[in-house]
Amino acid sequence: MAAAGSIPGIVLDGGDMFAVINATLWTSLRVGGLLMVAPLFGTRTVPRRVKGMLALALAFAMSPLAGPPPPLPGVDPLTVLTVAREVLIGVGMGFVLRLAFEAGALAGEFVAQGTGLSFAVMADPLRGTNAGVVGQWFYLCFALIFLSMNGHLMIVELLADSWKAVPLQSNWAPTPEALRAIADFGGQMFLVGIQIALPVVLAMLVINLAFGVMSRAAPSLNPIQLGLPASVLVGLLLMGTLTGQLLGPLRANLEAAFELSTGWLG
């Protein structure tokens, strides 16, 4: 008989332990698919072991929200299709969020071409490719704003909402309309990138036209020697001003991305 005031212990037999492991593994498929391509978490700067540990920890904590997991009868076509569906859902949600971030990198490329900084290229550790320095600057600004908006907590909420829409034991399959919505959001990424970079690009166009007229009026002046430093200086000043105005477009873009991430599952 337990003593008065003592806390009874939790006893798990072998069947309960296998049930917990089964639920965690099934839940980790969707979580791992999202973390594999999600912005910030899916970059090469995060080690694979950290991604795996984070996926298992989130899967263990959120397994009660995913509904009862399928049994483990062995390797059969239904099990393979269910695994592919869970990974596809996670990758789809992470891909939509990644598109929202790539709008910043695209805006940086447009600004770099207008300011004459397109030659400044270096290795981008976040995306694992060689990219322009200006594009990396905008990408980092998007990342800092995303974290300041508690975007990491919004991703956890997104996972919880996805299991409400599509539990583990469901017959969900992607529809052509859902896939078309993701493709349309990719076009929205280009639109947002152009809208962000348009003020700087237009201002640099006016400056370049002014130096073009000056070179025609005074042929002895070297437009390259005068225009390039002025373009770079004015471009840096405009970029500093534009950085303070990124919160509005990024918030609207992220809200649309999170809405689409669960909307295409409905």
In a domain, 6, yes or no: no
Q: Over the stretch 8-24, which tens digit does the pLDDT of each residue have?
A: 555 556 667 778 888 88
31 pLDDT band (50/70/90 cuts)? very high
Number of domains composing the chain: 1
In a domain, 121, yes or no: yes
Mean pLDDT for the stretch of residues 186-205: 84
In a domain, 9, yes or no: no
Dihedral, 103, 109, 126, 162 alpha carbons, nearest 10: 10
pTM score of the predicted model: 0.78
CA 127 to each of CA 37, 131, 135, 160, 205: distance values in angstroms, whole numbers, following the listed order: 10, 9, 11, 27, 30
Beta strands in the chain (DSSP E): 121-124, 129-132
Domain holding 47, by residue range, is 14-263
Backbone angles phi, psi at 132, to 5 degrees: -65, 150
**Tokens matching residue 103:** 């709008």
In the prediction, which pLDDT does 256 show?
A: 86
Let me know if 176 is exposed, middle or buried by CB neighbors in 10 A (0-12, 13-18, 19+).
exposed
Q: Over the stretch 135-163, which tens digit does the pLDDT of each residue have?
A: 778 888 888 888 888 888 888 898 888 88
In a domain, 145, yes or no: yes
